[in-house]
Amino acid sequence: MLPTRSILTGASRGLGRALALSLARPGARLVLVARGADALDAVAVAARARGADVLAISADQGELSGLDGVAARALDFLGTPELLVLNASTLGAVPMPRLLDSSDDVLERTFRVNAVGPLALVRRLAPAMVLAGRGHVVGISSDAAVEAYPTWGPYGGSKAALDHLLAVLAAELDGSGVSVHAFDPGEMATDMHRDALPDADPATLRDPSDVAIALLAALDDPGPVRRSLGGAA
Ligand SMILES: NC(=O)c1ccc[n+]([C@@H]2O[C@H](COP(=O)([O-])OP(=O)(O)OC[C@H]3O[C@@H](n4cnc5c(N)ncnc54)[C@H](OP(=O)(O)O)[C@@H]3O)[C@@H](O)[C@H]2O)c1
């Protein structure tokens, strides 16, 4: 059954937008987070047109000082969340440099956006799920978290860090009723993919709407942490 109270980061485009529209229906409450307010508002309007109640929060998940406010507004709007999708992510510098050419700033910012910020959100939002004894936390992972692709170091390293943090969280929450998943969406036709691999043929890539449906269908599968679906990406 689809969750009715969900928080989605990176909801203004790509997979996050597709998830928002897949979840939007009468009775659903959605909290959508991204930095760009205009694109986020457009998704909120589309989700409301499908009958959902929507709170759009413009925030940078790499700016940790703002996350108390994000979480407070989300919990106030939703009550206890049933689903938290840690989807927002950055490639770091584009084009992506080799590690020896990466700046300290890019390394630090990429890990903060892709791993530290998401875990900081979990720390603020998941305790309500644990109290309720139910809910799903899903981190969007990548093939780059397990394969050593040249120039994908900051991105892949930060995704590996997020995967491992969520694996530990899953072990710590075992028996709590809250499931923790790592979901690899595969290669999707999105802005991020175009930024990373501009020469790829979009026709060979997955439609984020199909991936959103697969992710939501996988929520009720057994098992605490899965790298799942999607194939290479
Ligand atoms: N596309 C692929 O082939 C592929 C493959 C494997 C894994 N993934 C993963 O799938 C997820 C979705 O990717 P996508 O392709 O849909 O990406 P996308 O189209 O680039 O969308 C990224 C979303 O994240 C938001 N975002 C980026 N930085 C943020 C920040 N610092 N704070 C808050 N929001 C931020 C963006 O909005 P703003 O810029 O307005 O903030 C946007 O809504 C990501 O975790 C990505 O790593 C993608």
Top pLDDT among 229 and 128 is at 128
Number of structural domains in the chain: 1
227 inside domain: no
Ligand 1 centroid to Cα of residue 175, in Å, is 31
Host domain of residue 142: 5-104+128-218
Residue 189 Cα to ligand 1 middle (Å): 12
88-102 residue pLDDT tens? 999 999 999 999 999
CATH number of the domain where residue 83 is located: 3.40.50.720
What is the arithmetic mean of pLDDT over 30-44?
Answer: 98
Is 228 within a domain?
no
CA of 17 to the centre of ligand 1 (A): 10
Question: Beta strands of the chain (E only): which ranges?
Answer: 5-9, 29-34, 53-58, 83-86, 135-140, 178-183
Q: Which two tokens stand for residue 187?
A: 């290669």
Ligand 1 binding residues, C-beta < 6 A: 9-16, 34-36, 39, 60-62, 87-90, 113, 140, 142, 185, 187-188, 190-193, 208, 233
pLDDT in tens, 180-230: 999 999 999 999 999 999 999 999 999 999 999 999 998 977 554 444 433
Per-residue pLDDT at 220: 75
Cα 145–Cα 114–Cα 107 angle in degrees, nearest 5: 85
Q: Which atom of ligand 1 is nearest to the CA of 60?
A: 32
